[in-house]
């Protein structure tokens, strides 16, 4: 079995990739742990090898919603790869795994010196911005069952299997919905033969059926990145 890799790092020429990995530390991503909290300086970025990191925005009344997720296709903390930045959101581990942790200042220095690193990070950052714009429209205009199907597809894209440990309470928090709304949406997806749900675990039964239930936003914002001009 091949070792898990990060797709962003895989895009780089060997010399640039090795320069980034020279000071990287392999760290576990533990379910439920926070990598960073709102207001904290982003001292390190994380390139996941497996697992999922969710960037979550929190309201004053305690409610929260996921802004975007990062798996092996991306990097958490990309906003700090251009200039030193404080995090506006919480980065929390949604699915356990592993990541390569690199000092943010080191990444900035390499991005300044190496055009391939700079372009890779800029394209990924542009992709995140595109996803955020699409997500804003999605939350405002699309029904819960279609948003849930889209979100589960994005989790499935970044998971190593068809079964994911996701409680209704957690899904409701990530979608910014009531638990009863998510329960009804999950029942509709089960009725359509897309997923099964039991004891905090969601299993994708039919990828095709789940895609048919998802809103257009899944197809508009995929794991692919924008292309450079």
Region 7-18: mean pLDDT is 95
% residues pLDDT > 90 (the chain): 61
pLDDT at 1: 37
Return all residues near 84 (Cβ < 8 A) that are at least 6 apart: 41, 42, 104, 105, 108
- Report how far residue 183's alpha carbon sits from residue 100's, in angstroms, rounded to the nearest whole number: 36
Reported confidence tier of residue 169, pLDDT bands at 50, 70, 90: confident
- Report how far residue 136's alpha carbon sits from residue 132's, in angstroms, rounded to the nearest whole number: 6
pTM as predicted: 0.88
Region 149-172: mean pLDDT is 87
pLDDT at 152: 93
**pLDDT (tens digit, 9 = 90+) per residue, 186-195?**
889 999 999 9
| Contact present, 159 and 97 (Cβ < 8 Å) | no
Give me 156's structure tokens.
């499935």
pLDDT at 4: 66
């Amino acid at each position: 079995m091949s070792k898990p890799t990060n797709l962003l790092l895989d895009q780089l020429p060997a010399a640039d990739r090795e320069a980034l990995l020279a000071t990287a530390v392999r760290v576990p991503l533990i379910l439920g742990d926070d990598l960073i909290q709102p207001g904290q300086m982003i001292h390190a970025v994380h390139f996941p090898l497996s697992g999922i990191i969710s960037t979550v925005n929190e309201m004053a009344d305690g409610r929260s919603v996921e802004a975007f997720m990062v798996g092996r296709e991306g990097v958490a903390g990309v906003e700090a790869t251009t200039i030193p930045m404080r995090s506006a959101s919480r980065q929390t581990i949604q699915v356990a795994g592993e990541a390569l942790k690199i000092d943010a200042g080191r990444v900035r220095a390499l991005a300044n010196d190496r055009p391939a690193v700079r372009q890779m990070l800029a394209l990924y950052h542009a992709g995140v911005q595109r996803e955020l714009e699409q997500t804003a429209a999605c939350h405002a205009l699309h029904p819960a069952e279609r948003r849930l199907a889209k979100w589960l597809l994005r989790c499935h894209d970044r998971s190593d299997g068809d079964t994911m440990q996701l409680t209704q309470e957690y899904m409701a928090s990530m979608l910014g919905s009531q638990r009863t709304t998510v329960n009804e949406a999950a029942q509709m997806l089960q009725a359509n033969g897309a997923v099964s749900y039991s004891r905090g675990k969601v299993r994708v039964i039919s990828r095709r059926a789940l895609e048919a239930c998802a809103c257009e936003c899944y197809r508009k914002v995929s794991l692919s990145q924008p292309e450079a001009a």
